[in-house]
Amino acid sequence: MTSTELQVPRADLSDPNWWRQAVVYQIYPRSFADANGDGVGDLQGIISRLPYLVSLGIDAVWLSPFYPSALADGGYDVDDYRDVDPRLGTLSDFDELVEALHGAGIKLIVDIVPNHSSDRHEWFREALAAPKDSPARDRYIFREGVGDQPPSDWDSVFGGSAWAQIEDGQWYLHLFAAEQPDLNWDNREVRDDFIKTLRFWSDRGVDGFRVDVAHALVKDLSEPLPSKTTLPRQSESNGLHPLWDRDEVHDVYHEWRQVLNEYDPPRSAVAEAFVPATRRARYASAKGLGQAFNFDLLQADWDYDRFRQVIEENLALAEQNGSSSTWVFSNHDVVRHATRYGLPKDPDGAWQDGKAWLLSNGTEPTVDVEQGLRRARAAVLLMLALPGSAYLYQGEELGLQEVGELPAANLQDPAYFRSKGAEKGRDGCRVPLPWTVGGLSFGFGAGGSHLLQPKWFGTYSVEAQEGDADSTLSLYRKALAVRRGLQSSEDLEWVDGVDWSLHFQRPGGWQSITNFGAAPIELPDGAVVLSSAPLEGDKLPADTTAWLI
């Protein structure tokens, strides 16, 4: 099937509610396409692949950080919030990308990283050169130690202490890598500068923002600092944890929303907030960011009961606060779901996150690749039929498996280094995309690739799937085209019937049914318009989703 056969009218770019049921495609720019052959993806590489993005039928691109960075955390250590990393391009390239996407009817969402800057940011360099208790240091969180020890025993998310010491003996807080010093959001100058950043990118045509670690920012660092042994569980803190999900953070987002609403149409925003579902609604309120990521399906094994529970809970929460839900299975931080679904379930009942498999360099346990891909294909049809917005991660439309065999010498993720190898990190889902069956970097660029691509990548390439009507790429293109034609209001009605089948109906007679069981089941009345795998006569096979009208 050619891309011209799938062209459909694009949504109105002026629609203020475009985000509510949008399909958003996440691009990790360093690993999407490399135009200058230096082994790292860039903005011109993305522009060169615009016809591919159009052929997918997406509504928006979410661009992961493209700012100047030492890459201590894959670009989430930002040197300058209002510029482009020279390795990725220039502000002129960025403007060209915005114009190209908008010309194709595609919106652009960019990452913003407000909890921390990089240690190379001009503010942090100024703080290091300034004396204690200076205005420069007050933009960050500096404290005196306890004797020769850090101010507290808190741990960094990436392992090790959450405090790093500087030459004059003071310590600064970094909830993530030491190269990512936390900003002090009690400082008015910090708040004003991020408002300036929101306006800078909005004025350049950005349509929305994905807010990294949105549940951090505001902290209670009243002395004495509590020991980590006395800290409440985040899931039970109800806004009282000193570091995470404090109620005061919403004052920041209420102010941001006023700025975002100055534009026509208002700029959208979505929070990355790892908080209980009952706390998520505040981030997604109309007075706040407007939408928040729901990671519940991403953190669910392939299981009927769990999927049904997650969908019901999140649709109810979205209805309560007037937002729309978000759905996602993979991103730049987790093992790809085509691999996770091919691994055996955790015997202790925990979510199969694939981390133990990564530590074996992708050898133990053995991935059932066929099962994983079959379930991933069924999952995306189910997701795309749900009310709300769907987030796709680059490469999932190819059915890409996680690269578990990356050698230690090629790893870049600070999680690997700070944990001293206890975690392998997230590099396996960030390996540059395969565009062609062969070549030095499978068409990623004229040079190599900054993360090693395995030999098997070519079989998953765009070129290998382009002419195959049954390929995963073809399935995504068909699904997005059909979805655009069927999508209407955000209503859903459950249809109960066959055990282990997740069956619901959307307005206009659109039905989606997924078979989580082991045996084929009877299809409901209606004409099948799309299925994730071939049907068995008039029956829906195991691990398969079908859409009917």
Give the angle 289-294-299 at the CA atoms, nearest 5°: 150
Inform me whether the pLDDT recorded for 418 exceeds 90. Answer: no
H helix runs in 57-166, sequence order: 91-103, 122-129
The string of pLDDT tens digits covering residues 218-259 is: 999 999 999 999 999 887 878 999 999 999 999 999 999 999
Look-up of token digits 């991103």: 331
Average the pLDDT over each of 52-61, 148-157, 411-420, 519-528 and give the range with the smallest value.
411-420
Does 226 sit behind a cis peptide bond, omega within 30 degrees of 0 on the bond before it?
no
Average pLDDT over residues 444-466: 97
What per-residue string of b and e applies to 136-165 under the rule 16 or more CB within 10 Å gives b?
bbbbbbbbeeeeeebbbebebebbbbbbbe
**Residue 3 above 80 pLDDT?**
no
Question: What six digits make up the tokens of 102?
Answer: 């908008």
Reading the block at residue 463, the tokens are: 């070129």
**Calpha distance 364→356 (Å, rounded):** 8
Residues 288 and 142 in one domain: no
Final residue belonging to a domain, choices 481, 502, 537: 481
Does residue 7 surpass a pLDDT of 50?
no
* Strands ordered across the beta sheet of 208-211: 290-292, 268-271, 208-211, 107-112, 60-63, 23-27, 389-393, 326-328
Count structural domains, the chain.
3
By C-alpha distance, which of 450, 472, 336 is closest to 404? 336
The answer, yes or no, to whether residue 360 has pLDDT greater than 70, is yes
Sole residue written with tokens 């570091």: 243
Q: β-strand 501-506 against 510-515: which pairing, if any?
A: antiparallel
| Residue at token pair 């055990």 | 499
Domain annotation covers residue 303: yes
509 plus 424 within the same structural domain? no
Give the integer Cα–Cα distance in Å for 398 and 473. 5
**DSSP secondary structure letter of residue 351:** -
Residue 228 sits in the same domain as residue 327: yes
CA 330/CA 216 separation, integer angstroms? 22
DSSP, collapsed to helix, strand or coil, labels residue 171 as strand
Token pair in block for residue 347? 């015997």
CA distance 403 to 336: 9
Q: Which of the residues are catalytic?
A: 212, 262
User: Token match 């390929």: residue?
Assistant: 471
Find the CATH number of the domain harbouring 151: 3.90.400.10
Region 33-51: mean pLDDT is: 98
What's the pLDDT score for residue 255? 98
Angle between helices 188-203 and 249-260 (to 10 degrees): 30
Whether residue 11 is contained in a domain is answered as no
The answer to whether 522 touches 501, Cβ cutoff 8 Å, is no
Whether residue 321 is predicted with pLDDT greater than 90 in this model: the reply is no
At 6, the pLDDT band (50, 70, 90 cuts) reads: very low
Residues 241 and 349 grouped into a single domain: yes
Question: How many Å apart are CA 153 and CA 165, to the nearest integer?
Answer: 14
Q: Does residue 203 lie in a domain region?
A: yes
14 within domain boundaries = no
497 and 475, same structural domain? no
Q: For residue 5, what pLDDT is reported?
A: 37
Query: 424, 451, 481 — which closes off a domain?
Result: 481
**Does one domain contain both 37 and 75?**
yes
Tell me how far apart the alpha carbons of residues 270 and 209 are, in angstroms, rounded to a whole number: 6
Nearest C-alpha neighbor of 401 from the set 425, 424, 374: 374
Peptide bond into 265 cis (omega under 30): yes
Q: Distances in Å between the alpha carbon of 242 and those of 138, 219, 234, 254?
A: 18, 5, 10, 21
CATH number where 511 lies: 2.60.40
Strand-pairing partners, residue 146, are 149
Torsion angle of the four alpha carbons 516, 302, 210, 163, in this order, in degrees rounded to the nearest 10? 170
Q: What is the domain extent for residue 389?
A: 23-114+188-481
Structural tokens at position 294: 């729901």
Q: What is the DSSP letter of 459?
A: G
Task: Report the C-alpha gap between 34 and 435 in whole angstroms.
Answer: 11
**Which amino acid is located at 503 in the chain?**
H
CA–CA dist 547, 527 (Å, integer): 8
Kindly state whether residues 99 and 245 are assigned to the same domain: yes
Q: Which pLDDT does position 2 carry in this prediction?
A: 32
- pLDDT band per the 50, 70, 90 thresholds, residue 9: very low
Closest Cα partner for 31 from 408, 426, 449? 449
Residue with tokens 């999900």: 245
Q: Is residue 279 part of a domain?
A: yes
Domain boundary among 456, 481, 506: 481
**How confident is the model at residue 233, as a pLDDT?**
87
Domain assignment present for residue 16? The answer is no
Closest by Cα among 169, 208, 210 to 75: 210
Length of the chain: 549
Which tens digits make up the pLDDT trace of 474-532? 999 999 999 999 999 999 999 998 889 999 999 999 999 999 999 999 999 999 999 99
Residue 37 is part of a domain; what is its CATH number? 3.20.20.80
Model confidence at 11, pLDDT cuts 50, 70, 90, reads low
Same domain assignment for residues 289 and 240:
yes
Give a yes or no: residue 15 inside a domain.
no
Residues 381 and 441 grouped into a single domain = yes
Q: Collect all residues with Cβ–Cβ distance below 8 Å to 409 and sequence separation of at least 6.
A: none
Joined tokens for residue 505 = 């109906």
Average pLDDT, the chain: 95
Percent of the chain with pLDDT over 90: 93
pLDDT tens-place string over residues 173-199 = 999 999 999 999 999 999 999 999 999
467 vs 209, more confident: 209
pLDDT of residue 10: 55
Q: Exposed/middle/buried for 135, CB within 10 Å: 0-12, 13-18, 19+? A: exposed
Rounded CA separation 531/288 (Å): 38
Q: What tokens appear for 90 in the block?
A: 């220039």
DSSP E strand stretches across 46-162: 60-63, 107-112, 142-143
pTM of structure:
0.96
27 assigned to some structural domain: yes
Q: Once rounded to an integer, what is the mean pLDDT over residues 64-85? A: 97
Q: Are residues 196 and 339 in the same domain?
A: yes
109: amino acid identity, one letter: I
Same domain, 322 and 215: yes
156 and 231 share one domain: no
Q: Which positions ≥6 away from 463 have C-beta within 8 Å?
A: 435, 436, 437, 443
- Residue 148 backbone phi and psi in degrees, to 5: -100, 15
